[in-house]
Amino acid sequence: MTSTETGRADVVNAADELFYARGIQAVGMDELRTKAGISLKRMYSLFPSKTAIVAEVLRGRTGQWNDGIRAEAAVHDSPREKLLSIFDFLDHWFREDNFHGCAFINSFGELGGTMPEVADAAQQHKKNFIEYVTELAVEAGCAPTVGQQIALLAEGAQTTAAISESPESAAVAKEAAKVLLDASARR
């Protein structure tokens, strides 16, 4: 890894940790560069703006999310079990000590109206997730709308777990997803 790649990774990792814990606007560039262990001048040579850093953090979060749900799905054979494994992934995540909700929901709520890059990243992330879930639902023999409904259950579980500090939201949503899948299979 080059020094530029290392420097960029240090900034992104520091930003991800700070933004996720406290919000984007609450973190100043000086605090970010201190956490990253580089000079402000160096940080601006790596990223032209805070917006560029936020966009890179959200790209990284998309990768973490996709890797996590796909790794959980990989241990299952049927599309139904792959679908339900999303809630197992969520259950593990909700129980992490540093769980603060969905970074995309959080950043969209904070800056989606004023920072188009945040809105675009959040919208694309959610769209891709809905497409993934819908593909699995169709493979499981369900109508595409069942995939959309299951995606909504996952999104609702994330918000509920973050706001009410209730990690069991994933298990409750998983049970609702089973009901949807069973009802769809009977049609």
**CA–CA separation, 81 and 136 (whole Å):** 9
**Per this entry, what is the length of the chain?**
187
Does residue 67 surpass a pLDDT of 90? yes
Q: Which CATH number fits domain 1-48: 1.10.10.60, 1.10.579.10, 3.30.60.50, 1.10.260.40?
A: 1.10.10.60
Q: Please give the C-alpha separations between residue 48 and each of 25, 45, 54, 68, 172, in angstroms, as whole numbers.
A: 17, 6, 11, 30, 44
Token code pair at residue 58: 């959200």
Q: To the nearest 10°, report the CA torsion of 151, 152, 157, 162.
A: 110
What average pLDDT does the segment 62-81 reach?
Answer: 96
C-alpha torsion sign, points 116, 133, 74, 169: positive
The residue written with tokens 């290392």 in the block is: 6
Whether the CB-CB separation of 143 and 184 falls below 8 Å is answered with yes
In this prediction, residues 57-72 reach a mean pLDDT of: 96
Average pLDDT for the chain: 94
pLDDT band (50, 70, 90) for residue 47: very high
On whether the pTM is more than 0.85, the answer is yes
Q: Which segments of the chain belong to CATH 1.10.357.10?
A: 58-185
**DSSP letters for 137-160:** HHHTT--HHHHHHHHHHHHHHHHH
- From the candidate CATH numbers 3.30.565.10, 1.50.10.100, 1.10.357.10, 1.10.10.10, the one assigned to the domain spanning 58-185: 1.10.357.10
pLDDT tens-digit profile of 5-36?
788 999 999 999 999 999 999 999 999 999 99
pLDDT value of residue 186: 58
Alpha-carbon distance of 83 to 28, in angstroms, equals: 39
Sequence ranges of the chain with CATH classification 1.10.10.60: 1-48
Residues 39 and 114: their CA atoms lie apart, in Å, by: 28
